[in-house]
Amino acid sequence: MTLPGAPVAAPIAAAPKRPNVVLILVDDAALMDFGAFGGEARTPNIDRLAARGAMFTGYHTSPLCSPSRAMLLTGVDNHRAGVATIEEVLPASQRGKPGYGLHLEPGVLTVADRLKQAGYRTLMAGKWHLGHGEGQLPNGHGFDRSLALDASGADNWAAKPYMPYYADAPWFEDGVRARMPANYYSSDLLVDRMIRYLDEKPAGAQPFLAYLAFQAVHIPVQAPRQFSDHYRGRFDGGWAELRRQRAERARELGILPPGAPVQDMPQLAKAWESLSEADRRTYARSMEVYSGMLEAMDASIGRLIRRLGERGELENTLFVVTSDNGPEPSDPVHAPGMGLWMAQHGYDRNLQTLGERGSLNYIGPEWAAAISSPGGLYKFYTSEGGIHVPLIMSGPGIAPATRVTSATFVTDVTPTILDFASAPPAPAKTVSLDGRSLRPALADNAATAHPDDEAVGMEVSGNAALFRGAWKIVRNMAPVGDGRWRLFNMEADPGETRDLSGDQPAVFKSMLADYAAYERRVGVQPLPEGYNSMKQVAVNAIQRQLGFALPAFGAIIAGLVALVAGGNWLRRRKRAA
């Protein structure tokens, strides 16, 4: 289906052997957040890339950021790459186990490693979250220049933490702790730095990889007011209405088959009508800021595109745009103790300045469930709302208005980039790729990226899925899921509304066997009894805060001991006198 206003598909010349590559990763964006996919935000630059290239409507990633980033940048399953989950939810029983070191293992090469060997300049700006310390930052994994946030997130207006798990916002440039500007906005800062890196060499001197990992639209959801104000009143109808509207647009755009059902809002979701007028205004404004954050990011992407045009490098640049997982449901503001922490770190959540400097804004589980439409649930979970996200590829060798509907996965991105770049084979004794190049599917949508009999699994902290042809099994853990496996036919029921495990017992049994084989192959470790990811976050954050406080507490104790000793010494001197 051709999108409105998109050029008619036509064959174009074969891609040059060494295109530049711009890999853009959005943080926590839903499948339909971009305008080209039916979203509310104004994203004209991303939409033009989609119209001039390929939209993937069957693309899946993992449900959490670090595992997705590991797979995106290496083409290797997250467990085999060494990043099975994220440290914030890691239980003590999994620490130190193979695949759970939460940094890229020796022998796991990034796309930057591979392209650097092929003669590319390799540049990065944005969130890293793939290991800490010497050798684990981008400069240790193939990037020539990098400005990297070594955390799951941070404030967008200042270098400060956004949750109690972190003491600060750890930014590094080329592996060295970076001093950040006094005033900045994250999307502008990252593109400014990437343009600076690009301009360090003359245009055309060397092909480049530019990896931009935006903070948008991760918590804290923040945006300049001039962008957020574009959406005044847009979300006043509430989350159930927005979920319905997105499902309707998904059908119009061919993302969802015309007769396919979708899930309603989750049972635990608050009814919009039950909220006070003040709460409705605050929640509606939170989504206005969310859309403004997407638009602000898109505007910065536009500046990068214009700069590449000025350098004469735009036509030979392959763009890849995607998200690391589905939308974020967390409410950090109302967690126990957060009021004190926010006051200590200069945060509030006032309606008048929501999303602006000093505002700790979020959208919460109801809006996350709404914007995940036509999928169910959201980030953390392997239902479609958590793992079905947008993917766009545009550039030389890709025909305009291409639509790829077959199942594709995050591990396929690096093999595709390496294919377009005509990269040489990997050195000996490196970890093999799990993904496949998507060039055949880009050339002919009838050529599926993965054969119907190939099983592709994923697992993060117990939340798991396995795809094979039209079938998917999925398991979601507490606190939202019940830990049961379910079976869905994704061609007939991409909204996951009818569990077929009882109707198709043979298919269900064979897919469970495939998943068990996947677990053995990649080394999935068992979870402790009663594991709950949200409780684990709280436990880990408390432990971290105690760790931050221990040095100061130790200094206080040492001072008290010194005072007591000094007092005793003075008393002895007086007696002696």
Catalytic residue positions, numbered: 65, 129
Are 264 and 495 within 8 A, CB to CB? no
Instruction: Find, among 347, 466, 326, 285, the residue nearest to 32 by Cα.
Output: 326
Dist. CA 235–CA 219, nearest whole Å: 19
Instruction: Find, among 229, 209, 188, the residue nearest to 143 by Cα.
Output: 209
Question: Is omega for the bond preceding 217 within 30 degrees of 0, making it cis?
Answer: yes
Instruction: Find, among 531, 490, 464, 481, the residue nearest to 329 by Cα.
Output: 481
In our burial notation (b when 16+ CB lie closer than 10 A, e otherwise), range 295-317 reads bbbbbbbbbbbebbeebebbebb
Instruction: Find, among 3, 33, 89, the residue nearest to 391 by Cα.
Output: 33
Are 208 and 144 within 8 A, CB to CB? no
Instruction: Find, among 534, 480, 158, 481, the residue nearest to 331 by Cα.
Output: 534
Which 3 state secondary structure label does DSSP give 227?
A: helix
3-state percent helix, strand, coil for the chain, nearest multiple of 5: 35, 15, 50
Q: What backbone torsions phi and psi does residue 454 show, to the nearest 5 degrees?
A: -90, 125
Residue 471 β-bridge partners: 468, 489
